[in-house]
């Protein structure tokens, strides 16, 4: 065993890969995917330090969390978690997080989900289930550092409940998984989808590529959504598009290879939650604004 009070280094995170559906089977556990900043907390002979996912020291930005981490009953540790801020509905809010870090750091929470090191012991070769049992015993209830509970039930059921409750998604992990830095498929993130009405401002139709509509939300360019309609509905869309082609490229979008449209065409888009722009987006319906739909 190494000396309990030692000098510990930042460990490159283990990163779940994205899947469309949660895994089945009792060998998986499922946690809420919080919408925040991945954070690693280290306590050693040099005190408390908090690092970003990329290994940048953000202790000064996270001072209240650093103070809370200092109260945990251990000589040394490396804890993995997610720094979040909650909105009025009690959900993690990524957009509010940025201003909270600079203006209201006392509102930050750390949701702790893994323990890589404790009191001179490297725990990364222990199964996830055992690491989390030790972590749960280390983190007291009711503070600004909270333990990320696994939710009971099948992956499908947990995913459905998480999306119904308006969370960003879930993270599914093999209970027997050891900790290894970098991307992995034995941890999986499954994001929820959202739907919203936006303006259709352009189309991209290139031979050999999937057709896309380009969308804007209240004048802000959001990105593209795939068009997957059957032939008759797709033709109806192109008919409406044809009457609106000829608008100048929106500011900053001249390099996009697109046919730009005059205002008046809207659509309902399905897209991944928790993203700044449209990702894995699909056009679900469309109409001209004078149709009276919305």
User: Do the strands 265-272 and 220-226 form a parallel or antiparallel pair, or are they unpaired?
Assistant: unpaired
**d(Cα 83, Cα 146) in Å, to the nearest integer?**
10
8 Å CB contact between 101 and 61 = yes
Q: For residues 20-57, b (16+ Cβ closer than 10 Å) or e, as one string?
A: eebbeeeebbbbbbbbbbbbbbbbbeeebbbbbeeeee
Identify whether 12 is a catalytic site residue.
no
Given the residues 9, 12, 33, 209, select the one marked as catalytic. Answer: 33
**d(Cα 212, Cα 96) in Å, to the nearest integer?**
31
**DSSP H or E segment with residue 236:** helix 231-242
First to last CA, the chain: 65
Active-site residues: which are they? 33
């Amino acid at each position: 065993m190494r000396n309990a009070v030692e000098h510990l280094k930042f460990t490159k995170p283990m990163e779940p890969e994205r899947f469309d559906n949660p895994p089945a089977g009792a060998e998986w556990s499922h946690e809420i995917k919080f919408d925040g900043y991945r954070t690693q907390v280290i306590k050693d002979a040099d005190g408390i330090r908090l690092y970003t996912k990329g290994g940048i020291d953000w202790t000064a930005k996270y001072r209240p969390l650093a103070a809370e981490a200092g109260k945990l009953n251990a000589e040394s540790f490396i804890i993995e978690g997610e720094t979040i801020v909650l909105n009025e509905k009690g959900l993690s809010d990524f957009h509010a997080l940025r201003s909270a870090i600079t203006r209201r750091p006392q509102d930050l929470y750390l949701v702790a989900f893994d323990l890589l090191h404790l009191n001179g012991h490297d725990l990364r070769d222990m199964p996830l289930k055992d690491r989390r049992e030790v972590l749960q015993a280390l983190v007291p209830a009711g503070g600004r550092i909270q333990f990320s509970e696994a939710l009971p039930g099948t992956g499908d059921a947990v995913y459905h409940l998480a999306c119904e409750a308006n969370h960003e998604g879930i993270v599914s992990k093999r209970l027997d998984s050891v900790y290894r830095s970098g991307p992995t498929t034995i941890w999986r993130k499954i994001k929820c989808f959202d739907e919203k009405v936006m303006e259709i401002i352009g189309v991209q139709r290139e031979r050999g590529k999937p057709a896309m509509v380009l969308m804007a939300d209240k004048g802000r360019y959001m990105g593209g959504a795939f068009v997957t309609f059957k032939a008759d509905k797709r033709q109806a869309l192109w008919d409406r598009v044809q009457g609106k082609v000829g608008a100048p490229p929106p500011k900053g979008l001249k390099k996009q290879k697109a046919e730009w449209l005059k205002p008046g065409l809207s659509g309902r888009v399905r897209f991944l939650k928790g993203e700044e722009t449209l990702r894995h987006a699909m056009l679900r319906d469309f109409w001209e604004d004078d149709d009276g739909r919305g």
